[in-house]
Structure 1
Amino acid sequence: MKTQSLHNQLVEWRHDLHMHPQLSFEEEYAAAKVSTLLKEFGIEVHSGIARTGVVGILKKGNSSKSIGIRADMDALPIHETNKFSYKSKFDNRMHACGHDGHTTMLLGAAKYLSEKGNFNGTVYFIFQPDEENTFGARTMIDEGLFDKFNIDEVYAMHNIPNMEIGTFGTRNGAITASENLFEIEIKTKGGHAALPHMGVDAITVGSQIAVALQSIVSRKLNPADNGIVSITEFITDGKKNVLPGMVKMTGDARALSKETNEKIASKMLQIVEGICNAHGVNGSVKYETACPVTFNSKNQTESATKAAVSLLGSDKCNGNIEPRLFSEDFSVMANEKPGCFVLMGNGTSEQHSRPLHADNYDFNDELLVIGSSYWTELVEQQLK
């Protein structure tokens, strides 16, 4: 593979980033490292976009064609339990989603392309803050990412645990779900636990709503339309001998289409209003989309798959992979420019099949050469 000679350096960079995780919009260490290395490669650097975002520009030849490749840099507020030498140096800060690896792969591609790249056009290396809270891409765009830089198309990658190393997947259309946050609040006349008939038990009302919400996916959606409704918090103001007068439920809904999302929101409101009316209490629903569906463009999906087949072979590539119900704020970039989000296997060993966001997750160093070589393959293919 094209970046094989960079393997040791890539591992060193990745381990250093893993030891110095920082949260969303606080990625000063990664941003400084990225900027320093890009300058060493002779790449034009623009920093401070969305606080810690960095864009590197590499132009060769005289073509006006361009491509943007995005890597995320932020870590998570998780305490790492791994014991290896490069574990996080900070309590409750961890690269538990592989963004250290994503950043390193793009750095490897930048180094190779600056030294040996055979292309005609401009490459924009986009190092993005805050993917986890889903504001990073939008903030970079709001601060001029696509106004200042003439980017024709955009691509991004994510590692997938328990997917064979050296395998690739993408699909045309929806590849990752929207994330939709909801808050349900019920207000009742509370009372003494020994006199339930003199009040209305908000927990009983809330519990009925919590159970009924699960019928949205199982009975209100077409089984072919993927959706999830999860209540993640159930909060009351009660005490052991007091019936609470308030229940607040918060949660997360996922959908792969605007239509499915609208149906979930509509049915949720119907359920809350219906059950609250039956008990004679007040209920409210707040429902907002935090991150839209990631839609891959047809031409870019074909190009991304073609590059993967060239690098890995057709038997290792799936151009019509099943969509995933996690969310990804690259979706915002792909709504602005033709784009494609691709998946690469992190491996199936015990260490590398641990789920994303687990406190013992680790990015697979074997993927560093594969991913960086993939980006070089894609750039040289698209900018012939």
Structure 2
Amino acid sequence: MLAGKNITVGIAGGIAVFKVAQLVSNLASAKAEVRVIMTRAAQEFVKPLTFQTLSGHHVYTDLFERTFGGPVQHIDLASGSDLIVLAPATANIIGKAANGIADDLISTVVMAATCPVLVCPAMNVNMYNNRVVQRNVTILRDLGYHIAEPGVGRLACGTEGRGRLAELDLIMDKINFILSDNRDLNGLSVMVTAGPTTEPIDPVRYITNRSSGKMGYAVADAAARRGARVVLISGPVALNPPPGVEVINVETANEMYSAVMDRFSMVDSVIMSAAVADYKPKITANQKIKKHESTLTIELEKNPDILAQLGKMKERQVLIGFAAETEELVNNAMIKVERKNLDMLVANDVTLPGAGFGTDTNIAKLVFPSGRIVSLPKMDKLSLANHILDELVILRKGKE
């Protein structure tokens, strides 16, 4: 997939530079044409000769380096790249890119680029969690930059937390995805549900759950990139809608039920990743409930089971469900697949590190009616979304 692709790797000054040597080697082994740019700080960790040897190309280190009569260096690198990878992306280069500062070779290449940019942060946990850095990461994400979220673990400075350069396999997956020409969902219409529902108790209180919506939004984003017409029915989340996706915002389970049923006959596939509340208050107070007694009893009643209803209705559609479990994952998943007439269930144990609500990664098992189970390792949610869509393509062929 990467053969002949022009990938520019911008290396900033951080201890993770030594890992990027392997990344460059991996890209070259995949027959990509790799150009490396190094800051002065990066050269304090690893010499340019290392990357020159691994890439097979000259390593760029100076903004003003130019052969007489030759092209303008930063423009040539920017216009000639299919992808720019910033790894490790320090707080400094992230801040420059987010705020339009171009005062060295890497930052000027980024400013001049029209190709995708993948940012791979790596730094001390306190630096990464700094509100300024988080703001800058958010700015880049909102501008369409791709982010390879850093991992959690022991850092070179001796502290523990999020800040390690993402695993190289994950970075390679993202590079392959970004440069993929895969449009295998062209002509298909996919409905995705995402996020939680909120069930009001009174005008100021409600029942909800911990779902962030990240998984469903990743599925919708990936499906749109692969050519599908996507409608995303979303509960309340703090996420930006994926580009090219129709978004229907709902709050309660009944609202989600109505939105799904209204559109079910018009789609080819449904991926129900929303965490729909199983119960709602039987009576919703019109006024705020005052604090009078030491206890308060709220009677709950069942919400409609959207997934089970779709299982009864489906004809040509592929129906994929999600299940968040805390025990007996496989057994509970198999029961749901059969009881709800699903084509596939994505099951995850939310007690595992990196698999719970609100995380940027997931650990899932894909469970099928035949009893086949595909166990996937921990990966970012966009990668998991593409694994799910790979299976969707196979399932759709079985419906034709």
TM-score, normalised with respect to structure 2: 0.30
